[in-house]
Structure 1
Amino acid sequence: MPAMPLTTLLRDSRALATLAVPLVLTQLAQVALTTTDTVMMGMLGAAELAAGGLAIVIFNQLRTMGVGLVTSVGNQVAAAAARSETRAAGTEGRPAPEATQAGPETATGEVAAIVRASLVVATLAGLAGAALMLLIGRLLPFLGQESTVADRAQDMLLTLAPGLLPCLWFQAVRQFTVGMRRPQALLQITLASVAVNAGINWVLIHGTWGIPKLGLPGVGVATSLVYLLSFLALYLSARRDPILAPLISLNIAKADRDTVQRLVRLGIPIAATYGSEAGFFSVTTLMAGSFGSAALAAHTAVNQLVYIVFQVAVGLSHAASINVSRELAQDRPAAALRIKNTALACAAAVMALVAVLYTAVPKLVLAPFFDGGAARNSEAISIATHLLLVTMVLQFFDCAQNIGVGLLRGLDDTKSGFRITLIGYWAVGLPSAALLGHAAGLHTLGIWLGLLIGLATTAILLLRRYSSALRTRFAATEPAPAT
């Protein structure tokens, strides 16, 4: 396919970075919460790291699906604001100064209705997810996990479950601020939450200032408290913003039923897509656990590294998705198609730097998760070091498939992503992981090779779907350039 001109790539990259950079930084700051949890669990020992990692995987599985239910809020808000900008600018396409930031007054009612509806969806998802979390915890002994690991994971899940509700409230308000292209407060709040989380973790785990020593469950209590504080801080920040304040209210009793239903219709396939990916990783975590606590600890540490780098993909995906919604609302399909190549180029550059780091200093990368001098951790460190070699390649495809999901969401095509992930993860990736891990005897390394195969398949199918769907959608009006 013809290469994108360098000047065009640079211009589009700057446009993407305007929204992507604060989102990526926010994601990296947010993942520092779970990284802090993982490091502190590792300080308690390999068994605690294995149990805590298992609990976090379950929490992340349900949290991710809940986030999926409100993710379309950003696209809906962005499209409403973009349509208003187009109407305000007239036929010449010159945005009105006021519309550039918030959209004209005619969009206020539509955006406010979307925000109220998103909080309703977040509340329902949080309550249902917390109940499921506790149920899954009770089933762990029947899923091939060591009894000691399962018992400790259940204790932590009891303290994590209450945090799901404020976590999803935070995500609903977050999507609103991103759709309005005013995400700046997210970074400040998330950075503050990292420090607060570390402090509360230390106090509750070790028991200081008269507070009982909670050990591993203290990590869950700290996480739940931080999610609540983060939501309150973001809400209050939005209320102080003169543009956002008129659009946000906690009075969900006034939510419009049709808007709620529309968000649910769009959100269910997104939640299923996110859940399909998270479930893919959750099942492989259970598979790693079947090889013993050392394998599970190594899997947990490397999975956390992947999760950290994945936040770059999340930021790029959200920014690309919002920009696609805006370009299509303003009838610019060629620009929407270029966004794909720009996002992938940015992702490739970041993943190349990460690969160099994994190759050059693998022990330094893994050091925060293990006590290298402890004999009980030597096996886990050896396994994790080999997994990093697979991860170098895996992370590019992980990033590309997430960008693909975001691009399709910008088209309001939330169903194709789910269908494709079923093929890539479950029909290709999981059987590959089982064959390579068990039948071929590669154990945890084989599981990660299966992850790589599944993610690569998913990425290719998603990106092909986006290009073909965009061309088909606008074939009768404005043919998109070849890519």
Structure 2
Amino acid sequence: MTAPRSYPAHARALLGLGLPLIGGHLGQFAIQLTDTIMMGWYDVEALAAIVLGSTMFFVFFIMGSGFGLAVMPMVAAASENGEGEVQIRRVTRMGLWLSAAFSAVTLPPLLWAEPILRAMGQTPDVARLAGQYLAIAGWGLLPGLGVMVLKSYLAALERTQMVLWIAVVAALVNAAVNYVLIFGSFGAPELGVRGAAIASVSVQVVSLIGLVAYAVRVFPEHQLFVRLWRMDRGALSQVFRLGWPIGLTNLSEVGLFAASAVMVGWLGAVPLAAHGIAMEMATATFLIHLGLSNAATIRTGKALGRGDIPDLRRGAQVTVALTVAIASVAVAVFLTWPEAMLSLFIDPDDPQKPDIIAIGTGLMMLAALFQMADGGQVAAHGLLRGLQDTRVPMVISGVTYWVVGISSGYVLGFPMGLGAAGVWCGLVLGLTASVVALMWRFWRRALPAAEARFDGQSALMAAPTV
């Protein structure tokens, strides 16, 4: 086995793979960001509804994306361990199958979301507008999850540039359609939240078509869509076993933030709007960490596929170092320019702007506090998924996000009277507990187990025959 690559070589390889993935995530995020900014200029109540509606959609989307994310380490390992084209085709197809099944099961709650939101204590007007948004945006779940599977497939094969360009084009198209349909520009009807929903669904469909066309052209030997209707029970089981814990882990994390939005919503539209804006900023930095984490998953999966544990270990160390560097920059930005960033989302003439800025500035300070923890936990998840270790991380996430994060956020926010700031303190506590437990899991359990497995295989191969 060759010597492990140097740390600078690992950093270059990780960034070379990760930067387009980061750009792709930020391009996708720009769709949601555009909705939030334009709704903030359109109407504060509509902004609160978009925050609530998009949060609910994202909960379902991120849970269903577990099957797409499971495809990533499986394709990466197959590309290195000799299983090749057949296994790549099998797991990618069944990732599409499972994503479609998930979409069919979870679509009804999105189409009839208004009574659900009312039951969760949201104000009637905000629940009504959020329901209008989701009744249209919900149809984007199926193409959106298909996009996630194909992005994972292409990224694992190191075709990340196309993932980036699809996301950039989608963000630009979304911004244009949003402007036309939200405000009724160029003679179009003024549709408000419904216009934002139509734009989002259209973009998801166009993105899926673009990725399908690219995959067929660049990898015709994989024959992804030939006899797509045929079930592969073995591959379906493999993707399901790896993917459902990822989906529930994602649900735990996004549920932490969604529950925080619901709790802040009990305080009224102004705190919810401030929460939504601050969360947009925190989400942007999270997506940078997520792109790096995806790259770590791919590189860890490839190292695992070829049994190169020393290279895997060194790559993990570089991942952690880059995560700390990115988080440090985010902390500095959040502490230096909170008011300027918040002002981007609000009409300067809105009478509620001072109240939103006052609440949002405090939340931005708290967002700075959890940057290290948030980056660290998503990096740990990426490394563990590269080792195809997903079940114990799922349990860790459920305990730290919900038992620690949600419960402490509720106690600090309401019985102790800290309001939105108290809810965000719960986020800090939950994420901190998560990163400690997940990093321990990777360095003390999962990595040594992988090393022992390959050492055992090497010893077996070296044993004399009789």
TM over 0.5: yes
**Counterpart residue number, 1:387:** 363
Contact 1:53 1:300 in 2 (8 A): yes
Looking at structure 2, the residues matched to 132 and 471 of structure 1 have their Cα atoms a distance apart, in angstroms, of: 43
Task: Indicate whether 1:364 and 2:340 are aligned.
Answer: yes
Looking at structure 1, the residues matched to 352 and 341 of structure 2 have their Cα atoms a distance apart, in angstroms, of: 19
Task: Indicate whether 1:146 and 2:144 are aligned.
Answer: no
What's the CA shift for 1:210? 4.4
Amino acid at match of 1:451: L
What's the CA shift for 1:415? 0.4
**Counterpart residue number, 1:65:** 63
Q: Deviations over 1:106-145 (max 9, x none)?
A: 6112211222211111211222222232344421111111
Contact 2:22 2:290 in 1 (8 A): yes
Contact 1:116 1:250 in 2 (8 A): no
Looking at structure 2, the residues matched to 391 and 451 of structure 1 have their Cα atoms a distance apart, in angstroms, of: 9
Task: Indicate whether 1:37 and 2:35 are aligned.
Answer: yes
1:254-333 correspondence to structure 2 within 5 Å: 254-333=230-309
- Structure 1 residues 388, 245: closer, same or farther in 2, change over 3 A? farther
Amino acid at match of 1:130: L
Task: Indicate whether 1:179 and 2:161 are aligned.
Answer: no
**Counterpart residue number, 2:412:** 436
1:392-407 correspondence to structure 2 within 5 Å: 392-407=368-383
Task: Indicate whether 1:18 and 2:16 are aligned.
Answer: yes
**Counterpart residue number, 2:172:** 195
**Counterpart residue number, 2:92:** 115
Task: Indicate whether 1:338 and 2:326 are aligned.
Answer: no
**Counterpart residue number, 1:95:** none
Q: Secondary structure of the residue that 2:347 maps to in structure 1? A: coil
What's the CA shift for 1:207? 2.1
Looking at structure 1, the residues matched to 136 and 211 of structure 2 have their Cα atoms a distance apart, in angstroms, of: 23
Identify which of 170, 173, 179 aligns with 2:147: 170
Q: Secondary structure of the residue that 1:268 maps to in structure 2? A: helix
Looking at structure 2, the residues matched to 81 and 164 of structure 1 have their Cα atoms a distance apart, in angstroms, of: 29
Q: What is the RMSD of the two structures over their aligned residues, measured on CA atoms?
A: 1.7
Q: Deviations over 1:78-104 (max 9, x none)?
A: 1111112xxxxxxxxxxxxxxxxxxxx
What's the CA shift for 1:55? 0.1
Task: Indicate whether 1:158 and 2:135 are aligned.
Answer: yes
Contact 2:86 2:222 in 1 (8 A): no
Contact 1:71 1:267 in 2 (8 A): yes
Q: Secondary structure of the residue that 2:403 maps to in structure 1? A: helix
Amino acid at match of 2:413: G
Task: Indicate whether 1:418 and 2:394 are aligned.
Answer: yes
What's the CA shift for 1:13? 1.1
Q: Secondary structure of the residue that 1:252 maps to in structure 2? A: coil
Amino acid at match of 1:149: V
Amino acid at match of 2:311: A
% identical equivalent positions: 30
What's the CA shift for 1:274? 0.2
Task: Indicate whether 1:79 and 2:77 are aligned.
Answer: yes
Task: Indicate whether 1:459 and 2:457 are aligned.
Answer: no
Looking at structure 1, the residues matched to 32 and 124 of structure 2 have their Cα atoms a distance apart, in angstroms, of: 24
Moved over 4 A (4+): 476-479
Looking at structure 2, the residues matched to 71 and 247 of structure 1 have their Cα atoms a distance apart, in angstroms, of: 20
Looking at structure 2, the residues matched to 477 and 181 of structure 1 have their Cα atoms a distance apart, in angstroms, of: 25
Looking at structure 1, the residues matched to 318 and 367 of structure 2 have their Cα atoms a distance apart, in angstroms, of: 23
What's the CA shift for 1:9? 2.9
- Structure 1 residues 112, 388: closer, same or farther in 2, change over 3 A? same
Looking at structure 2, the residues matched to 476 and 340 of structure 1 have their Cα atoms a distance apart, in angstroms, of: 18
Q: Secondary structure of the residue that 1:253 maps to in structure 2? A: coil
TM-score normalised over the length of structure 1 = 0.90
Amino acid at match of 2:11: S
Q: Secondary structure of the residue that 1:441 maps to in structure 2? A: coil
Looking at structure 1, the residues matched to 42 and 30 of structure 2 have their Cα atoms a distance apart, in angstroms, of: 18
**Counterpart residue number, 1:98:** none
Contact 2:111 2:136 in 1 (8 A): no
Give the length in aligned residue pairs: 451
Q: Which ranges of structure 1 fall in alignment gaps of 5 or more residues?
A: 1-6, 85-105
Contact 2:396 2:434 in 1 (8 A): yes
Q: Which ranges of structure 2 fall in alignment gaps of 5 or more residues?
A: 457-466
What's the CA shift for 1:300? 0.5
